[in-house]
Chains A and B, each alone.
Chain A
Amino acid sequence: MKSLLKNRLAWPVIALAALLLLNQIFRPDFLALRMQDGHLYGSLIDIMRNGAPTILIALGMTLVIAARGIDLSVGAIVAIAGAGSCAYIAASPEPASPVTAAMAVLIAVLAGLLLGVWNGFLVSTIGVQPIIATLVLMTAGRGIAQLITDGQIISVSNDHYKAIGAGYLFTLPVSILITAAVFTLATVLTRRTALGTLIEAVGINPVASRLAGLRSRNIIWIVYIFSAFCAAIAGLMISSNVTAADANNAGLYIEMDAILAVVIGGTSLAGGRYTLVGTVVGAFIIQTLTTTVYTLGIPPEVTLVFKALVVLTVCLLQAPKARNLLRSLKAAPKPAAKEAAKEKVAI
């Protein structure tokens, strides 16, 4: 039990389980799944579907944070990707054809990659601190997205494009499948090759890893490009789900949610060791929180307060200093877990 609790994934998983349990108590059919018209329905599916963009962005963010960086520009990239693809579809002669949809996706992904190269260039070649380097794009990016849409909300009607965010494949929402694919890709690429270790090496000590003969510049470049790529895909999902591009509100504050997901999942903002699974759990916690608010009948106005309190609780539970304090208060960590669960119910 003790060794299990020491695992870095333990606390996020306990928090998620507690939240799900809370929902199950208040709504007995919460965990139930049912088939309808060949599609799988249920609250769990909803959580995954609504959380898909956050999970995607958080995956990219995990690698950036592991390399001792941070990417604040993802929300702006979401807006630009959505704006670019919807503007293309709206302006094309055949707005409903699959070719147009494919081109739109290509444009969004290319735009994402380009912006990732830009961030990577500022951080690795120029040597600007990540938080400011990406702040540039965070500020300017939304302006660029508004420039593309001319300040309007561009609506499109293309069924193929709509499928990305709202379609179903093999009984599951397409967005979940895309997210799962990116997760698998990231896991295989970083854990089945040396890439993951190299990223951690750069994050733990950039100078030492450079002296050890590691091309840390390229590693930094790769993580920012991957992060922007994930953000572009998330931008496609968000805009396709509502079949419109809203340069002002698409992906607003999603960078904050993504960073929170990473931190709640157990990856330190100081860089170094990371866990992609933890990040996914963290993103689920954030999305489940939103659902919990509705299940418990808490007025939506209180959502943010509730979120802030839970985020603080989870962060405090993970902080080594807070854990030591709990341990010295009560000898074993087991009562501490109970206490935490109680605290959540009290909230």
Chain B
Amino acid sequence: MSPLSTLTPLAVKEKSPVRNRIRGGARYAPTLATLGLFIAMFAVGAGMYPSFLSGQVFLNLFIDNTFLIVLAVGMTFVILTGGIDLSVGAVVALSMMVSATLLQQGWNPAAVVFLVLLIGGGLGLLMGLIIQYFDIQPFIVTLAGMFLARGLCYVISLDSIPVTEGFFTAMAQAQIPLPGDLFVSPGVLLALGIVAAAFYILHHTRFGRTVYAIGGNEHSAMLMGLPVTKTKVLVYALSGFCSAIAGILFSFYSLSGYSLAAQGMELDAIAAVVIGGTLLTGGTGYVLGSVVGVLVLGIVQTFIAYDGTLSSWWTKIVIGALLLVFILLQRLFARKTA
């Protein structure tokens, strides 16, 4: 392979810009396909239900899914390195339980938020350390983390705890007005801020490039002298941290803590990331794609809510079908670029 390419450097050099552009296009293709699907679904919705075509319906997709967006951001980092984090749903529930309990006991909301973020980040860090230093598969370690976090929820309380504290209820009811009689919740701004930060970290920092490099080929990344160990541990800490933020956002949204909340949310997050065009083998994908993936999941639910005759289980079937379509698309693109 290598002697050939050194023999024909000119030909390769002439071809490479075009080929690069094609490759670059193919790299964006799954994400663009998701975006196209989202627009198409919105258009179909607008055709079927006149009230669908409003800015608020679009904004509600964000308002109702702030926590999922933040989860998907954390999950994107983990999946880009070729790992997986099954604990996120349970960490969301744990964050909700901890904040609801402490607020009930009269803690300062700022202290509660700080503690919750510390717990989430700490759990993620712990899982990352175990994965990295004892060389146990992420699947198993984060599964144990899921049991641990969910179990701690049960230990705290089996009942639903309402949140009546001032700051949290204010955040739940606050509406930030936008031009044209539209509004968003403060959580949306926070979630979008996190998306922007993640975008910056992934594409404009050394850490982000190392994440991609590890997903592409961990061994090569190590041989290049990149800080593989540190990055892999940090990625799980980041995902745990994002889960804690998502837990707080979910608390704002539901104003309660319940040990059975957010069950199966890890699957929604993984589905959003995959639908958004990130390969589960790592190395390829975009955080913005994951956001579009969340919006697609959200619009499926909006559709079913608008229709009224379809039962809730159709959500699961449609999400499964969408997953299938997207992995088939990815196979197609992967073959073309190969």
Contacts and interface: CB of A to CB of B under 8 A. Distances in A.
B33 interface: no
Interface in A2-60: none
Interface string B139-158: 11101111110111011001
B224 interface: no
A128 B331 contact: yes
Contact of A147 (B154, B267, B313): B313
A136 B331 CA distance: 15
A122 B274 CA distance: 16
**Tier of interface size on chain A:** 35 or more
A322 B313 contact: no
A316 B143 contact: no
A70 B141 CA distance: 16
Contact of B316 (A143, A256, A315): A143
Contact of A132 (B152, B274, B312, B313): B274
Contact of B144 (A135, A269, A301, A312): A312
Q: What secondary structure prevails in chain B residues at the interface with A?
A: helix
A91 interface: no
B319 interface: yes
B265 interface: no
A301 B154 contact: yes
A187 B324 CA distance: 34
A315 B139 contact: no
Nearest to B314: A143
A315 B140 CA distance: 9
B270 interface: yes
Interface in B265-310: 267, 270-271, 274, 280-281
A78 interface: no
Contacts of B315: 143
Given A128-B327, A259-B139, A304-B147, A139 B271 contact: yes
A191 to B, nearest CB: 26
B323 interface: yes
A311 B86 CA distance: 15
Given A259-B143, A311-B147, A315-B144, A143 B313 contact: yes
B320 interface: yes
B328 interface: yes
Interface in A242-277: 247, 256, 259-260, 263, 269-270
A306 B315 CA distance: 34
Interface stretch (B102-110, B127-135, B173-181, B198-206): B127-135
A298 to B, nearest CB: 11
Contacts of B270: 135
Interface in A76-119: none
A305 B148 CA distance: 5
B155 A143 contact: no
B148 A140 contact: no
A129 B316 contact: no
Nearest to A305: B151
Interface in B211-252: none
B11 interface: no
Contacts of A141: 320
A129 B281 contact: yes
A127 interface: yes
Contact of B313 (A135, A146, A302, A309): A146
Nearest to A299: B155
Contacts of A140: 316-317, 319-321, 323-324
A343 to B, nearest CB: 15
Interface string A310-347: 01100110011110000000000000000000000000
Given A139-B316, A316-B134, A308 B280 contact: no
Contacts of A263: 137, 140
B136 A315 contact: yes
Interface in B56-74: none
B320 A308 contact: no
A215 interface: no
A322 B148 contact: no
Nearest to B155: A301
Contacts of A138: 267
A303 interface: yes
Given A143-B315, A143-B316, A269-B140, 12 more contacts: A128-B328, A137-B320, A139-B271, A139-B319, A147-B313, A151-B313, A304-B151, A305-B147, A305-B148, A309-B148, A315-B134, A320-B135
Interface of A: 70, 122, 126-129, 131-133, 135-144, 146-147, 151, 247, 256, 259-260, 263, 269-270, 301-309, 311-312, 315-316, 319-322
21 contacts: A131-B84, A132-B323, A140-B319, A142-B316, A143-B316, A303-B151, A303-B154, A304-B154, A305-B148, A305-B154, A306-B151, A308-B144, A308-B145, A308-B148, A308-B151, A311-B140, A311-B144, A312-B130, A315-B141, A315-B144, A319-B136
